[in-house]
A and B are shown apart, each in its own frame.
Chain A
Amino acid sequence: MSPAPSTATRTATTTADPADAATARPVELHGVARTFATPAGPRPVLAGVDLSVAAGEIVAVVGPSGCGKSTLLRQVAGLDAPDGGRILLGGEPVAPYDARTAVAFQEPRLLPWRTLAHNVALGVPRGTPRAESREQVARLLDLVGLAGSAGLRPRQVSGGMAQRASLARALARRPGVLLLDEPFGALDALTRLRMQDLLLEVHASRPTTVLLVTHDVEEALYLADRVVLLGSLTAGAADTSVRSVVTVPGDRPRDRADARLAELRAELLDGLGVPTHHPAHDPDAHHSI
């Protein structure tokens, strides 16, 4: 297993139980490409995406909407297949609906007729003895703070609770790679902050490789070891590739108001084409201030 960067290793080993640590897998993308067929003709989305994520690392993927972030994530999960290039999990190619991965989708996607506990149980690998499965579900529900709501149906709980159940379901798989597709995007600002801390807690207690797609630059900087900026390499090009990779300084949990993060935030937002009016980056700064 390839060595993880220092921050990730530290987080990963604090309260890890060995069985869990063994499952974290590195992810490698080599020249991944994807073109969608549309009525208006083929539309290239991804081209030549190279990325290497160490086992236990948290990597956030940001990029303008429609740039193929989610497609990339779905490919790592085996929900979609690249037209070109290779994706390896722990050195082996991704299989369709790869069992080594677990996805928490943008929407909770819970089965409305099942209780939260039974929804989480869906994530428990098949073949797990019933008693063990029940115990695992109870532990995960406790971990995400839903122990008291185990018997409720998805429509009886708030969006944040449903999203936590969805996270617990993903964790129940004991995934080598946890894939999060804008999991907190639809939540209110306060719940989102709580969920981010919950994710860090979960990652500390059950280390796994995390690939997080988000449109929230601050979220990326708060959670990730590295932030990958996707976008077109040349102006006007339709397809997306890795434009830059930013290593986030500081150990988690980080100070949300860290000045270094503010710098990176401005840099990333610039990369996303959003003017930030940050003194160090705003070209007009010396005029306006």
Chain B
Amino acid sequence: MTDAPAPVVTVAGSSVRATDARGRALPGLNPFSLGLAARPGAGPLARRPVRLALGLVVPAVLLVAWQLVTASGLVAPYQLPSPASVWTAAVDLAQRGLLGQYVAISTQRVVLGFLIGAALGLAVGSVVGLSRLAGALLEPTLGAIRAVPSLAWVPLLILWMKIGEESKLTLIAIGAFFPVYTTVVAALRHVDAHLVEAGRAYGLRGARLLGAVQLPAAVPSVVAGLRLALAQSWLFLVAAELIASSMGLGFLLMDSGNNGRVDRMILAIVLLALLGKTTDALIGLAEKSLLRRWA
């Protein structure tokens, strides 16, 4: 990567800037011109629209294959309904106001549970990563709790907190907690000892040292942990909603399974995929700007 300012083609960043800082077009800056094409990694694949388009190829192929398989009668509709009937199911649910409600409540649970779990993971991970005493005290127990499969918590949480929002948020928070906790602990333990010593030599201690040196140095791995935690939150959401809920995408999945509505089941799965991908893309954007700032 070059440090030269302004109108360069960033290799990894994928944005080809053919204008200068004031937005005027730069003469002769054609990404396919010889000079730039010779730059390693600056082929058509370095361009965002191209990559976006390529990413849609497989879903499109799958959709077409799905349509062909169902239209040709190879698979019975009660096993795999056609894309059109799934669409119809979506429209039907939307008209009853259920689709929006399910998507909203599931997203809300994931976001809240993720925020709670990630904040706790950040706090506990910081303490365990920085204090040997806290590490010796907490690490074995947390490691054991981490080993408990998500579904194992459900009956207990329902018993303790009833079938309300609390039990679901707690389960999702547990799911979000561990990826953040483990990455924060590992990252803080691997912060460059030289930088920490320099920070101490310049009078930084405790929370100040954490804020000025240790956390910033850990930012790249912590962001990766947050991303993992968000994915885990969706995982735990479905675990929570499958068993005890009256709305949400997990409920839709369960309820449709009991009623034999394969179209709605597929709809729920597609929605989970889309929502998960969307939130991941959002956190990816945040990651990009954070890494620009801290890495």
Which residues of A line the B interface, CB within 8 A?
Answer: 77, 79, 97, 99, 102-103, 105, 107, 109, 111-113, 122-123, 125-126, 155-156, 169, 173
Is B202's CB under 8 angstroms from A156's CB?
no
B201 touches A103 (CB 8 A): yes
Q: How far is the CA of A250 from the CA of B167 in the complex (A)?
A: 80
Asked if B216 is at the interface of the complex by the 8 Å CB criterion, the answer is: yes
CB of B213 within 8 A of CB of A111, answer: yes
Q: Which residues on A sit within 8 Å (CB–CB) of B212?
A: 111, 122
The smallest C-beta distance from B6 to any residue of chain A, in angstroms, reads 14
Nearest residue, chain A, Cβ from B194: A109
> Which residues of the other chain, A, contact B203 by a CB distance below 8 angstroms?
97, 99, 125-126
- Are B216 and A123 within 8 A (Cβ)? no
Contact B216 A156, beta carbon cutoff 8 Å: no
Contacts of A122 in B (CB 8 A): 199, 202, 204, 212
> Contact between B202 and A173 (Cβ–Cβ < 8 Å)?
yes
Chain B residues in contact with chain A, CB under 8 A?
Answer: 3, 194-195, 197-204, 212-213, 216-217, 219, 293-295
What residues of A have a CB within 8 angstroms of the CB of B204 in the complex?
Answer: 122
Instruction: Name which residue of chain B comes closest to A101, CB basis.
Output: B201
Q: Please measure, in the bound complex, the distance between the C-alpha atom of A68 and the C-alpha atom of B37, giving whole angstroms.
A: 53
If A79-B197, A111-B212, A113-B293 are given as contacts, then 5 extra A-B residue pairs at C-beta distance below 8 Å, sorted by A number, are: A79-B200, A105-B194, A105-B198, A107-B194, A169-B202
Query: Looking at chain B's contact residues, is the secondary structure mostly helix, strand, loop, or mixed?
Result: helix
Give the distance in Å from the alpha carbon of A215 to the alpha carbon of B157 in the complex.
65
**B198 lies within 8 A of A109 (CB):** yes
User: How many angstroms between the C-alpha atoms of A243 and B271 in the bound complex?
Assistant: 78
Chain B nearest CB from A169 CB (Å) reads 7
Q: Are A97 and B195 in contact (CB under 8 A)?
A: no
Of all chain A residues, the one with the shortest Cβ separation from B5 is A156
Chain B residues positioned under 8 Å from A111 (CB to CB): 195, 199, 212-213, 216
Q: Could you tell me if B195 and A109 are in contact, using CB atoms closer than 8 angstroms?
A: yes
Measured in the bound complex, the distance between the Cα atoms of B202 and A103 in whole Å is 8
Say whether B213 contacts A156, CB under 8 Å.
Answer: no
Q: Are A113 and B294 in contact (CB under 8 A)?
A: yes
**Residues in chain A near residue B217, CB distance under 8 A:** 113
Shortest CB-to-CB span from A213 to chain B, Å, is 15
Select the residue from A99, A105, A107, A113 with max chain B CB neighbours within 10 A: A113
CB distance from A187 to the nearest CB of B (A): 18
Q: Which residue of A lies closest to B291 (CB)?
A: A113
Asked whether A77 lies within 8 Å of B293 as measured between CB atoms, the reply is no
Residues in chain B near residue A125, CB distance under 8 A: 203
Contacts of A79 in B (CB 8 A): 197, 200-201
Q: Looking at the assembled complex, report how far the CB atom of A72 sits from the nearest CB atom of chain B, in whole angstroms.
A: 16
A123 and B202 form a contact (CB under 8 A): yes
Residues of A within 8 A of B216 (CB): 111, 113
Name the B residues within 8 Å of A126 (CB-CB).
203
Shortest Cβ distance from residue B210 to the other chain A in the assembled complex, whole angstroms: 13
A289 to B105 Cα, complex, angstroms? 94
